[in-house]
Amino acid sequence: MTMNNQGRPTTPGTAGATLPDTLSGDHGLDHEEKLIFELGRRGICGVDLPEAPAHKARLGGLERRQKIGLPGLSEPEVVRHYVRLSRNNYAIDAGLYPLGSCTMKHNPRLNEKMARLPGFSDLHPLQPQSTVQGALQLIQELMHWLMELTGMPAVAMSPKAGAHGELCGMLAIKAAIAARAEHRPRVLVPESAHGTNPATAAFAGFRVDQIPASGDGHVNIEALRAKLDSDVAAIMLTNPNTCGLFERRILEVAEAVHQVGAFFYCDGANFNAIAGRVRPGDLGIDGMHINLHKTFSTPHGGGGPGAGPVVLSKALAPYAPLPLLVGDANGLRLVEDRSSLPTNSDPFGRMCAFHGQMGMFVRALSYMLSHGADGIRQASEDAVLSANYVLASLKDVMTAPFAEGPCMHEALFDDSFLADTGVTTLDFAKAMIDEGYHPMTMYFPLVVHGAMLIEPTESESKESLDRFVAVLRGLAQEAKAGRLERFAGAPHYAPRQRLDETAAARRPVLRWTEAKIAQAAE
């Protein structure tokens, strides 16, 4: 090792073959972080609030008798704690996030800034309507975008996420059937559907009848026809579907469904593949939710909040839930109850308190305005192009069940290329973590063995896609070459190695308790 004249090494030292673990248990930027309850103490507070002035309490003798048990911390301690926690998360801002069906696209910060304008963020849902006309205009503008892009005549804005939107759509269908005094207890759901579809249909009081998959990844229209009857309320179909394919016989599906008097509900989770190019309204769809947090990029936030407005056909529009937004001579107005309904309106009820996810509406509209109609079309096309590029670049080393293509916005692989390697889809996915990538969606859709569903989105450059492809090719080759050490027990370089999920479920520990600490100390 050479030194400069202060005795300071000018070349890196040579690391020993076996490094001792650090003294602190931390590793460079990777810090171990206790729970907030283990950091706090009594007698300190991270917010300076004045003591309440003297007053005569009016609590009717219902005062709390026991302490809550919350820890006390100063502001810098709280900030450091959550900053440290944040660094244990992968994020789209930090890397390609190919989670199929989840649409991890860029989240523009402009949208965050707009959602924080005081005229939106500091507005009470029950202020006099004369004082919120700008907010109602924003909702109306977003409704126009959604109806225009989907070619549908109505949209219900209040659902709070995709599954909530599904429920809204199915309730509108239920109301329409009730209005016709019909009995239709059955809902058809393809095997390949998102789990929310059968769960929603069951929640809405329908009996779920599964349509088996066909060999080509498309809906089995003969099996569908065989199940269609006058007791079917609806089909719930995802398009583009969960295999990443556009249902090429969708017009036949719509016709067959309508012929028996049933409704066509579309899971719009994958609308981002076709927005600006295809209007679901032209496909015979009666209802479809739109995940604003997917297609229109309101951030996923580690699992929400989302927003799931539902576009509705003319047949379902009258049953849209409260509140409704109507315009008259005095401006825009929310109809919040049945006493002042517009003509032809017969709401099935209410999905939630107030008027929906306003904060998400602002972000989605900001995204739409930034793109314009052509930009949205370009984003869809780039998403589809990128997925097909990944498919074309990997199908010789990985196995794609529907390799003849084209796919839509996601490329589906199965695990047959791993046959006899001793490596599973799970191992392969975990090895991607060591390579610096969030894994793709694993083991979904259920109709493909060991499924790996890759959705690159339109947010990646060609260089980023090429690098990703090179890493996946390399891993596939390593697996086939029998280099199991890359896979067994991966990830090795993440903040945690594989976690014992079985133990977590067998003896659930769902909260911190003081007793647990005492126990651990024994």
Partner 1 sequence: MRYLPLTPDDRAAMLARIGAKSIDDLFVDVPSAAVVDRGRFALPDGMGELEVERHLSRLSAKNLAAGSAAFFCGSGAYRHHVPASVDHLIQRSEFLTSYTPYQPEISQGTLQYLFEFQTQVAMLTGMEVANASLYDGSTAAAEAVEMARRITKRAKVVLCGGLHPHYAATITTLAQLSGGEIIAAPRRPGQGEDLASLIDGETACVVIQSPDVFGLLHDLRPLAEAAHAKGALLVAVLNEVVSLGLLEAPGAMGADIVAAEGQSIGNGLNFGGPYVGLFATREKFLRQMPGRLAGETMDAAGRRGYVLTLSTREQHIRREKATSNICTNSGLCALAFTIHLSLLGEEGFARLARLNHARAVLLAERLGAVRGVELVTQNFFNEFTLRLPRPAEAVIDALVEENVLGGVPASRLFPGDSAAQSLLIVAATETNSTDDIETYAHALAKVLS
Stretch that binds partner 1, among 8-16, 101-109, 417-425, 479-487 (CB under 8 A): 101-109
Residues 41 to 60 in contact with partner 1, rule: CB under 8 A: 42-47, 49-53, 55-60
Provide the sign of the torsion angle of the four alpha carbons 38, 42, 44, 48, taken in this order: positive
Residues 135 to 174 in contact with partner 1, rule: CB under 8 A: 135, 137-138, 141, 144-145, 148-149, 151, 160-164, 166-167, 171, 174
Residue 115 tokens read as 């959602």
Task: List CB contacts of 209: < 8 A, sequence separation 6 or more.
Answer: 186, 187, 188, 189, 227, 232
Provide the minimum distance between the beta carbon of 8 and partner 1 in the complex, in angstroms, as a whole number. Answer: 35
- Single residue of 31, 377, 473, 480 touching partner 1 by CB under 8 A: 377
Q: Quote the CA–CA distance of 354 and 345 in Å, as a whole number.
A: 19
Residues 218 to 247 in contact with partner 1, rule: CB under 8 A: 245-247
- Single residue of 3, 9, 26, 117 touching partner 1 by CB under 8 A: 117
- Strand bridging mode 452-454 / 441-442: antiparallel
339 in contact with partner 1 (CB under 8 A): yes
375 in contact with partner 1 (CB under 8 A): yes
User: Are 411 and 388 spatial neighbours (Cβ–Cβ below 8 Å)?
Assistant: yes
- Single residue of 388, 399, 421, 425 touching partner 1 by CB under 8 A: 388
Residues 9 to 28 in contact with partner 1, rule: CB under 8 A: none
The conformation of residue 334, written as its DSSP 8-state character, comes to E
User: Are 283 and 139 spatial neighbours (Cβ–Cβ below 8 Å)?
Assistant: no
267 in contact with partner 1 (CB under 8 A): no
Stretch that binds partner 1, among 133-141, 228-236, 311-319, 414-422 (CB under 8 A): 133-141
- Single residue of 18, 28, 64, 344 touching partner 1 by CB under 8 A: 64
Residues 428 to 447 in contact with partner 1, rule: CB under 8 A: 429-430, 433, 438-439, 444
118 in contact with partner 1 (CB under 8 A): yes
User: Are 285 and 255 spatial neighbours (Cβ–Cβ below 8 Å)?
Assistant: no
Closest listed residue to residue 289, CA positions, set 321, 322, 267? 267
User: Are 347 and 171 spatial neighbours (Cβ–Cβ below 8 Å)?
Assistant: no
- Single residue of 227, 260, 345, 389 touching partner 1 by CB under 8 A: 389
Rg (CA), the chain: 27
What crossing angle do the helices spanning 133-150 and 358-394 adopt, rounded to 10°? Answer: 30
216 in contact with partner 1 (CB under 8 A): no
- Single residue of 184, 186, 289, 300 touching partner 1 by CB under 8 A: 300
186 in contact with partner 1 (CB under 8 A): no
Binding-site size for partner 1 (CB under 8 A) equals 212
501 in contact with partner 1 (CB under 8 A): yes
- Single residue of 31, 125, 153, 416 touching partner 1 by CB under 8 A: 125
Angle at Cα 152 formed by Cα 300 and Cα 120, nearest 5°? Answer: 45
Neighbours of 191 (CB within 10 A): 17
286 in contact with partner 1 (CB under 8 A): no
